[in-house]
Structure 1
Amino acid sequence: MPKTKLFFIFSLMYFFTSNYSFSQSISIIPKPVSVQLTQEKFTLNSSTSILQTSASFSKNVQFLQEALHSLTPFSFPILENTPSNFIQISIDTTKVSQKEGYQLVISKNSIQLTGHDEVGVFYGIQSLIQIVYQSKNQGFNLSGCRIDDYPRFTYRGLHLDVGRNFFPLSFLKKYIDLLAFYKINTFHWHLTDDQGWRIEIKKYPRLQSVAAFRDETIIGHKKDSPHRFDGKKYGGFYGQDEVKELVKYASEKYVTIIPEIEMPGHAQAALSAYPHLGCVSGSYKTATFWGVFDDVFCAGNDSTFTFLQDVLDEVIPLFPSKYIHIGGDECPKTRWKVCPKCQKRIKDEHLADEHELQSYFIQRMEKYLNSKNRELIGWDEILEGGLSPKATVMSWRSEAGGIAAAKQKHEVIMTPESHLYLDYYQSLHADEPTAAASFTPLSKVYSYEPFSSELNQDDEQYIKGVQANIWTEYTPQPEQVEYMVFPRALALSEIAWSPKTHKNYDDFLSRLRQHRNILQQKKVNFFDRFEEITYHFSMEKSGKSIVHFSTTLPNAKIHYTVNGKAPTSNDKVYQNQLIINKSGILKAQIFVGKKAYGKVFEQAFEYHKAIAKNVILKHQPKANYNPTTPFALTNGLTGNARYNNSQWVGFSGEDVEATIDLGNIQSISTVGLNLLKYHWQRMWEPNVLIFSISEDGNSYKEVYRTSNFPANGINQIRAKITPVKARFIKVQAENKGIIPAGEYGAGGKAWLLIDEIYVD
């Protein structure tokens, strides 16, 4: 064989081996653009020093020295002459052409870190630190490599709401440290809301003495009824000196802090301090529970704009960020519709309606911010009534707002609730701590792609980045915030930084397993069951339920029982699928050898005569309550009280009319279904529920009627009737329609949620 061909084969073998070794021995998050391993090793030891070639690197050099010293027993002296075992930092825009980019070369005698700029050097240091963390058990032997890296998006954001719950400066610094460690460069600081005003404004001292505090706080979830309260005054605010301290701290980690001052909605705390800024005369109180409130800033009152401009005059000097976030979301128009001043504003400004009044409000504030050389950013509701000329849209309700804004040539930050709201449950286990709603596991976060297929290449340039959000209604303690945010924030970092072509969930998990130890050493209270059982249910026309289990945990087996008992390592091992064809409780548990991982999975099955029978609906379900799987209402599975397990079928303002064909005439003695009732979530019981039966599908006879749904939560209807022959079952439920005055969400459409039509 010719030597050149032999050399080529060995080169290929080395290339594939070294890249495989990278996934095993170097686990950087977010994943770099390019990694090439060599067979060399660099050993950190007592003689390792840092070579400082320029005084301009002193901040980063000192940061590196302190970080390495905290991880090793070595001191890492800073030298100006070339030593024999050293780490060198430099900037070279030719070698590294991309902004924020870096090149890291680890060889036998040196570590060479080159950045495009200082921030690129900083991110290279973070990658090096991650490598050092992983080398601690290998005598600080670092694998030889060359890493070339730079970010996909310029904006990489993580949010924190301090309006609902207040967190100490020490935690905010830790939060910023974690952002920087994973190359997230923006901290969106949500400072004001209905439940509290958290920033000192010296011109308006009542914002500190009144608006920063609430009389008490709701206990449990907002959906619970009746509401219970703890009776304890709660609050706090950040003084301007503290704000300056945090902004300076963040800037040293190359993290930009964007403040959010909510307007025109979410203003109840501010109105409690200065009630003349509202539409209704009288007093206001800082909100004591969570939700969207009708009391907002009066858009017809010039003093509102004077107040907000004065506030911004004190906020702007504290934050050097390009953007100032003004919220703009969830602003009910209820008060504006009946406010004489607001109606006069609409008339005087020749506005069409209250939506254009909101646009007027936002545009007026944008002009003021522009006059201060700042740019406005707001949630996607700022699109209502016409978008401000230079405004940047943060698209949260879906991608639609971001897509629309990008097509209008506006900059966009994608932060869809469906994938990037970290206050949502990350596990469906019933004992998970209370969270807002929905279900957003790590895998779903990681799957998000910011470039929508609806955008063309020209439009994509306006998508500046992505952000994940954590609202804190149900996370009053720092450790609870950490539990909800991590490790999902690591998935965010990879969405924001790594090339789209590099994204691979299995590979991400292999690196994340290495970062478990890092997060533990950093004392982060992270969610550590991200490889728990995932499952999928399907149903055959025969009525058999097919259950598919999986786990990403290496060397794991899933053991299960169908008798309701907790599985042990001696119980049956799941293979390819399970078939369920009768009522019972299925439980499953992951084991690695004899050791259990995570919590026990549990699912009840309730079999009856309507199982797998076709259901014809007069109206189609809406939004997240529209299961795409057949037999959603006749599969023997029950929707949970958190309404996030994809079993509930929902109708917005519309009645339910469902007809089931049993296939043949049978004797029927029980009919029923499950209804969800949470007025504080706009989920209402029907005015009346009626079951009718028929033999031929034309002539129906009523067999059961009720208007009694006493439970706050799941109302399980199982009505015994006189045995009767029938083939067709018709279910009719009259929607509440419009939510009554005085109730939460008054004037909006009521949701009617049903699940599992039961016939036996």
Structure 2
Amino acid sequence: MKRIRTYLAIISLIAMPLLTLAQAGSQIVPAVVPLPVTITPSTDFFFIIPTTRIVATDHSLNKIAELLNGYVMACGGKPLSKVAAAPTSNFISLAIDSAGIPDKEGYLLQIDNRSIRCVGHDASGVLYGLQTLRQLWSAGAHKLKVPGYTIADHPRFDYRGMALDVSRHMFPVSFIKKYLDVLALYKFNTFHWHLTDDQGWRIEIKKYPQLQSVAAWRNETLIGHKKELPHHFDGKRYGGYYTQQQIKEVVQYAADRQITVIPEIEMPGHASAALAAYPSLGCTGGPYKTATFWGVFDDVYCAGSDSTFLFLQQVLDEVMELFPSKYIHLGGDECPKTRWKVCAKCQQRKKMLNLPDEHALQSYFIQRMEQYVNSKGRHIIGWDEILEGGLAPNATVMSWRGEEGGKAAIAQKHRVIMTPETNCYFDYYQSLYSQEPLAAGGFTPLQKVYGYEPLAGSTDSATTTYLAGVEGQAWSEYYTSEAQAMYMIFPRALALAELAWTPADQRNYGDFLGRLRRQTSLLLTEKLAYDPYFDDITYTAASQSGALQINLHSSLPGSEIRYTTDNTTPTWQSALYTSPIEIKNTCTVKAVLFNKQQQPTGRLFQQSFRIHKAVGASVILQNKPIDRFNPGNTTLVNGLFGSNRYNDDQWLGFSGNDLQAVIDLGRIQRVERLALGVLNYHWQRMWAPVTLLLLASTDGEHYTELYRQDSFPVNGINKLEVKVKPVQAQYIKVIGTNKGVIPAGEYGAGGNALLLIDEIVVE
């Protein structure tokens, strides 16, 4: 293997210039995702033809050789024969050399006109080399053409995960296998399988048959978004579960593709389905039912009853028999303490253990279950809520509510997987176009996923030591079909794959998009119903006194944007966008992207702008808005209204705090009309203000009340268009009294109400 080591030495000297050329737009770097660490091109080509032989002397690579044959045949090639010794030419060799390829999961792929050699540190490395090979070849008549390259590659992170929630919507084994195939193609090594939740229990547990007959089924399913009231349901019984034989089949299928399957069995919250089957496990004794809509529910496993722990231990016994993974995910998130606070058994447990509060009781619950899992030679993973009340001694933390949980866990020397919802949740909208299918909320475009850098700026050496990797989340509340699931997950998962694999200083979004566009035929071969609209037109708006500057953008090279401001649909003859559009009057901007062939591509862009006296004015806020929504003061006076998806950065949000905004118009002016919108979605914890006051002043000290409203009946956006008695004013004050704590009986009871407001129009 001296030849391999020589190649590594040469590659290390020339790789960076090659990557620089690629990022500048050169075609030297092929359309491979994730981008390999080093790439050396040649002028050679190799042709995989029916007489090509596969050489794999290591028996551990037999399955990978079979996979290679499958990949060849999927592209129209003929099956290749496997031989024990390499001929002089026309062969593909597979080998393991842990000394020559020092990095775990690393590989060296050498392609010339005589052969293809794929050498891995381990079996995973060999497979990943072949996944790169698949992305290099192009199909012809009974042959595959492969350009010459030498590629030395290894992953950035040990943990590269994608999840799938099958509790809300269940997917057949055939889909799970297809999903695993695509994860393997893009070098993910972990499949996090979310198997239990309030809406359904999806794994067969032989000791508890009612988990199959009761917990696996719900009476009906919510139609539309949970924020919409009244809730509507389809009236159809829904459910199912994976048999233990099917679980074994999936685990083996994943293992053949070097993917570890980590099961998630939720506890102590998200337990409605299990409680429906075994009501004695809850604090009240029921009756309970499997949830038919989405959310967080007060009924959880009773922390004061030993029978709860016995049940979960016996469940995990069967789970651990099915899943050989080192880690078992126990959930631990979103567990309300409402029932525990009034449960005699839970309070007795808390008193007996001298625990200060119910958060500590949750910590006890997780630690007790962790001890059991550890006794079986395994370790647990939990969502970052398991930090509350004290972290279990050996737990890995999956940080989803931002990065703070991950930072806190690292400070305690715990292994961390970063999966912040702002960047890694693929149930969020990926564009703001109205044609997007119904999604959970939030806005996570492709660029936001790709641009995420875990714990950016950290100089603590512990970060490197304890940051295991990243994971993308695929929650299925609104994944109502296999096609929609794929549309929502891909290509965002490809951006995460590159984040997880490629060194940070070699990643470049423009270069990634170029390679992604050239992945189209491969994605079609894999029959992925992925989102193709990542090059669609987007915009930014800069406000100035009484006007807006609108910037239109597209990432499609060589394209042109044609636009109108008269509400007509643009054509090739419409105005060509070359510089920011100045908007001085209320209008709708429409734009269409045209490709190099002067053909329209993508979707019609349209955005309305309302110009009024306060556009671009100075705004002073008494309380700081929360970062979850756009925290900028100018949001209130930028000529843009928020949508009912509340994910477009046009809403200003306050958690538990009042809104008090003062707008300075710059000079005394006549004011006779005010307008604004407030959100009222109790099922999203969004409450309209108890009282809304609009006031005016000439000096900023003495205010006159112009309007007051105490009732907001609309579920959704309450739009106020208020005509007031004309008044001279320079300052407009808006006061919204927050609901404060969400009352008992309402969704999210006991938490802070959110008050959301959008554009304040002054005319």
> What is the identity percentage for the equivalent residue pairs of Structure 1 and Structure 2?
53
| Map of 2:705 onto structure 1 | 702
- Contact 1:403 1:455 (C-alpha < 8 Å) held by counterparts: no
Which of 267, 273, 278 is equivalent to 1:274? 278
Q: Does 1:458 align with 2:459?
A: no
- CA drift at 1:726: 2.2
Give the SS at the match of 1:425.
coil
Say if 2:519 is the partner of 1:525.
no
> Alpha-carbon deviation of 1:16?
5.5
SS where residue 133 of structure 2 aligns?
A: helix
Measured after TM superposition, the shift of residue 135 of structure 1 is 5.2
- Pairing of 1:297-316 with structure 2 (within 5 A): 297-316=301-320
CA distance in 2, matches of 1:701, 1:649: 24
Secondary structure of 1:633's counterpart equals helix
Q: Equivalents in 1 of 2:316, 2:589: separation in Å?
A: 57
Give the letter for the 1:306 counterpart.
Answer: L
Task: Please state if 1:477 is matched with 2:481.
Answer: yes
Distance 1:74 1:302 in 2: 60
Range with bigger deviation, 182-191 or 742-751: 742-751
Out of 743, 746, 749, the residue aligned to residue 740 of structure 1 is 743
Alignment of 1:128 onto 2:130: no
Q: CA deviation at 1:47?
A: 2.6
Change (3 A) 1:149 1:22: farther
8 A contact 2:49–2:142 mirrored in 1? no
Q: Alpha-carbon deviations, 1:314-335, whole Å to 9, x = none?
A: 1110000000000000001111
**Matched residue of 1:210: which SS?**
helix
Unpaired segments of 5 or more residues in structure 1?
Answer: 1-10
TM-score normalised by L of structure 1:
0.96
**1:224-373 map, 5 Å:** 224-373=228-377
Aligned residues: 747
- Equivalent position to 1:442, from 436, 446, 460: 446
Q: Is the partner of 2:561 in helix, strand or coil?
A: strand
Aligned residue runs from structure 1 range 681-720, under 5 A: 681-720=684-723
Q: Which residue of 1 aligns with 2:102?
A: 97
CA shift, 1:218, in A, is: 0.7
Q: Quick check: 1:695–1:725 contact (8 Å CA) kept in 2?
A: yes
Q: Any residues of structure 2 matched to 1:84-233 within 5 Å, and which? A: 84-132=89-137, 134=138, 136=140, 140-233=144-237
CA distance in 2, matches of 1:138, 1:665: 79
Q: Aligned AA for 1:283? A: P
State how far apart, in whole Å, the 2-side matches of 1:384 and 1:437 are.
Answer: 26
- Distance apart, 1:672 and its partner CA: 2.4
Counterparts of 1:705 and 1:513, CA distance in 2: 54
In the alignment, which of 628, 647, 650 is matched to residue 647 of structure 1?
Answer: 650
* Alpha-carbon distance in 1 for matches of 2:496, 2:616: 39
Moved more, 381-390 or 111-120: 111-120
Pairing of 1:23-102 with structure 2 (within 5 A): 23=27, 26-83=30-87, 84-102=89-107
CA contact (8 A) 2:450 2:499 kept: yes
User: Does structure 2 conserve the Cα–Cα contact (< 8 Å) formed by 1:659 and 1:728?
Assistant: yes
1:254-308 superposed Cα distances (whole Å, 9 cap, x missing partner): 1100000000000011111111111113301111110111111110111110110
Tell me how far 1:462 sits from its aligned partner. Answer: 0.4
1:393 offset after TM fit, Å?
Answer: 0.4
Matched, 1:753 2:756: yes
1:527-546 equivalences in 2 (<5 Å): 527-540=531-544, 542-546=545-549
Measure how far apart 1:24 and its partner are.
Answer: 5.2
Identify the residue that residue 578 of structure 1 maps to in structure 2: 581
In the alignment, does 2:679 pair up with 1:676?
yes
One-letter amino acid of the structure 2 residue matched with residue 414 of structure 1? M
CA distance, structure 1, for counterparts of residue 67 and residue 286 of structure 2: 54
TM superposition shift of 1:745:
1.0
Query: Alpha carbons of 1:437 and 1:136: their partners in 2 closer, same or farther (altered >3 Å)?
Result: farther
Distance in 1, matches of 2:501 and 2:300, equals 38
Relative distance call for 1:137 and 1:717 in structure 2 (3 A) is farther
Query: Would you say the 8 A contact 1:403–1:454 is kept in 2?
Result: no
Q: Is the contact between residue 323 and residue 374 of structure 1 (CA under 8 Å) also seen in structure 2? A: yes
Give the 3 Å change call, closer, same or farther, for CA 241–378 of structure 1 in structure 2. Answer: same
The alpha-carbon deviation at position 138 of structure 1 amounts to 12
Tell me if the contact between 1:69 and 1:76 (Cα under 8 Å) persists in the aligned partners: no
* Residue 407 of structure 2: aligned partner: 403
CA contact (8 A) 2:75 2:139 kept: no
In structure 1, the residue corresponding to 2:636 is in which secondary structure?
coil
Cα displacement (A) at 1:55: 3.4
Render the CA deviation track for 1:328-381: whole Å, top value 9, x for unaligned.
Answer: 000011111111111111110111110100100000000000000010110000
CA distance in 1, matches of 2:391, 2:706: 54
SS at match of 2:443: coil
Shift of 1:18: 11
Give the alignment partner of residue 418 of structure 1, picking from 417, 422, 426.
422
Q: Report deviation, 1:121.
A: 0.9
Verify the 8 A CA contact 2:675 2:762 in the aligned structure 1. Answer: yes
C-alpha contact 1:337 1:343 (8 A) present in aligned 2: yes
Pick which of 587-596 and 465-474 moved more.
587-596
In the alignment, the residues of structure 1 paired with residue 488 and residue 206 of structure 2 have an alpha-carbon distance, to the nearest angstrom, of 34
Gap change, CA 1:729 and 1:24, over 3 Å in 2: same
- Report the alpha carbon displacement of residue 13 of structure 1 after superposing the two structures with TM: 14
**Contact 1:166–1:476 at 8 Å: present in 2 too?**
no
Hey, what's the Cα distance between the residues in 2 that align with 1:228 and 1:14?
A: 57
Shift of 1:94: 2.5
TM-score normalized by the length of structure 2: 0.95
Question: 1:591-648: per-residue Cα shift (whole Å, max 9, x none)?
Answer: 11331111111111111222222122221211312433x5211111101110111010
Out of 659, 666, 689, the residue aligned to residue 662 of structure 2 is 659
CA contact (8 A) 1:272 1:284 kept: yes
The answer to whether 1:432 aligns with 2:436 is yes
For 2:9, the equivalent position in structure 1 comes to none
- Return the alpha-carbon distance in structure 2 between the equivalents of residues 360 and 619 of structure 1: 37
Task: Tell me which residue corresponds to 1:7.
Answer: none
Give 1:238 deviation, angstroms.
0.7
Residues 469-492 of structure 1, C-alpha deviation per residue, up to 9 Å, x if partnerless?
010001121111100000111111
In the TM superposition, residue 139 of structure 1 has moved relative to its aligned partner by 6.6
Return the match for 1:610 from 611, 614, 627: 614
In the other structure, the counterpart of 2:8 is none
Counterpart Cα distance in 2 of 1:215 and 1:80: 58
**8 Å contact from structure 2 (residues 86, 93) kept in 1:** no
Q: Which runs of 4+ in 1 moved over 4 A?
A: 11-22, 135-139
Q: CA RMSD in A?
A: 1.9
SS of 2:654's equivalent in the other structure is: strand
CA gap of 1:718–1:244, structure 2 versus 1, over 3 A, is: same
Per-residue CA shift, 1:74-101, capped at 9, x if unaligned? Answer: 3322223433311111222232111111
2:561 to 543, 558, 563: 558
The CA distance in 2 between the partners of 1:616 and 1:12, in whole Å, is: 55
Partner Cα distance (2:211, 2:708) in 1: 54
Partner of 1:724: 727
Query: What whole-Å deviation, never above 9, does each CA across 1:555-589 have from its counterpart, x for those lacking one?
Result: 10111111111111211111131111110001111
Q: Is the 8 A contact 1:25 1:143 kept in 2?
A: no
| Unpaired stretches in structure 2, ≥5 consecutive residues | 1-12
* Partner SS state of residue 398, structure 1: coil
Match of 1:5 in 2: none
Asked if 1 retains the 8 angstrom alpha-carbon contact of 2:220 and 2:292, the reply is: yes
2:604 partner SS: strand
Three-state SS of the structure 1 residue aligned to 2:261 is strand
One-letter amino acid of the structure 1 residue matched with residue 734 of structure 2 = V
Say whether the 8 Å CA contact 1:420–1:468 is kept in structure 2.
yes
CA distance in 2, matches of 1:668, 1:55: 83
Relative to 1, partners in 2 of residues 1:284 and 1:56: Cα closer, same or farther, differing over 3 Å?
closer
2:628 is the counterpart of 1:624:
yes
- CA gap of 1:686–1:17, structure 2 versus 1, over 3 A, is closer
